[in-house]
Amino acid sequence: MTQSDEEDDYMNMVFEDAPKGPTHETALQRAARKRKEGEARARQKTKAEREAEAEEARETALATALPETNKGFKMMAKFGFKQGDTLGKSENARKEPIQVSIKEGRSGIGVESEKKRKLREAWDEAARAAKRSKEEEGDYLEERKQHLKEKKMERDLDSAQRTAERLSGQEDEDKGGQPKEEKQLKDVNVLWRIRARRREEKQRDLQQKKELDNSLTSRLPTLANDEDEEDDDSKVALGRDLNPFYTSLETELEPEDPELADFEGLPVAERLHEVLVFLREKYKYCLYCGYQYPDAAMEGCPGLTEEDHD
């Protein structure tokens, strides 16, 4: 290798004795630095910056343990305190200092506690109102459920009374007895006597309405005519009947029926129970099966009530 090959390439040469910057500030540099420091001191920090600096200083102080050279630490060390241990004999005691809660705003001391108290009372009142609403809703649903149940029992009672009246009428016809239309109310079984009474009241209302219409018609003015030449039917037809029908209007209502009043005063569940028992014992009939059994055993019927047939 030639001597020129052993020489270093000037492009890759490192100059160790390169000139360095000045070891001292120049007058211009010192003036610029002082100007910047003065501007920094003169600039007013914003509120956010001051709060951030205070928060940072507080957190730094709280995160820094007391040095062993601290007078307070030396006093606690005499009582057996060690760095990182709790204060006192309890193992569950606090190891870290209580966090500082910074008061914000310009309100007086205790205002925040009053606000919290009012907020807690409002929350408790809302919880009580929600509980009352839920209880009232539950009571309403329970009352609604009971009302629907009673309506269902009333329909079952009417169906049972109608069936008992029909079976009793068939039995009377087979024995050649008196038809139910000709029976007096006191002779009708009290279990379905209310049905016969309602029919009589309805018939009386229709008769009274008819007689009232006839009485009003008889008072209308008509052409004079020789009344001697007319028979009674013609007088009634022409509204000149001097004796209109007042028979039902003048008739007093039937006397009270204490036996029926006592039975109707019972709860609907008890009345239904009595009619169902009567149908089973007298006619071997089950309302919910809809079938009249051939013997008293009533084999195949699950029970007396509708719940037994569910």
* Tens of each residue's pLDDT in the chain, 310 residues: 455 555 555 666 555 555 565 567 888 888 888 888 888 888 888 888 888 888 888 888 877 777 888 888 888 888 877 877 777 777 777 777 677 676 676 767 766 777 788 888 888 888 888 888 888 877 778 888 888 888 999 999 999 999 999 988 888 888 776 666 667 788 888 898 888 888 888 888 888 888 777 766 655 555 545 555 556 566 555 555 545 445 554 555 556 788 888 888 889 899 999 999 999 998 899 998 988 898 888 888 988 888 888 7
| CB-CB contact of 279 with 287 (8 Å) | yes
DSSP label at residue 259: H
* Residues 135 and 151 both lie in one domain: yes
- Is 107 inside a domain boundary? no
Q: How far apart are CA 94 and CA 86, in angstroms?
A: 6
Q: Is the dihedral of CA 278, 280, 281, 283 positive or negative?
A: positive
Containing H/E element for 282?
helix 268-283
* Residues 165 and 284 both lie in one domain: yes
Give Rg (Cα) of the chain.
Answer: 55
pTM check: above 0.85: no
* Residues 133 and 255 both lie in one domain: no
* Residues 206 and 153 both lie in one domain: no
Which of these, 273, 307, 284, lies nearest to 191 by C-alpha position? Answer: 273
| pLDDT at 77 (0 to 100) | 84
| pLDDT at 1 (0 to 100) | 47
* Residues 134 and 257 both lie in one domain: no
Q: Which distant-in-sequence residues (6+ apart) come within 8 Å of 6 by Cβ? A: none
Query: By residue range, what is the domain housing residue 283?
Result: 117-183+269-310
Q: How far apart are CA 306 and CA 287, in angstroms?
A: 9
| CB-CB contact of 203 with 290 (8 Å) | no
* Residues 288 and 156 both lie in one domain: yes
Q: How far apart are CA 162 and CA 195, in angstroms?
A: 8
- Is 307 inside a domain boundary? yes
* Residues 261 and 190 both lie in one domain: yes
- Please list the residues that pair with 292 across neighbouring strands: 285
Tokens coding 143? 């009352």
Containing H/E element for 286?
strand 285-286
**How many Å from the N-terminal Cα to the C-terminal Cα in the chain?**
117
| CB-CB contact of 258 with 130 (8 Å) | no
* Residues 258 and 191 both lie in one domain: yes
* Residues 201 and 250 both lie in one domain: yes
- Is 127 inside a domain boundary? yes
- Is 17 inside a domain boundary? no
- Is 89 inside a domain boundary? no
* Residues 260 and 133 both lie in one domain: no
- Is 84 inside a domain boundary? no
Tokens coding 70? 């601290």
* Residues 123 and 232 both lie in one domain: no
| pLDDT at 46 (0 to 100) | 86
Domains contained in the chain, number: 2
If you count them, how many residues does the chain have?
310
- Is 165 inside a domain boundary? yes
- Is 200 inside a domain boundary? yes
* Residues 301 and 277 both lie in one domain: yes
Q: Is the dihedral of CA 126, 127, 128, 134 positive or negative?
A: positive
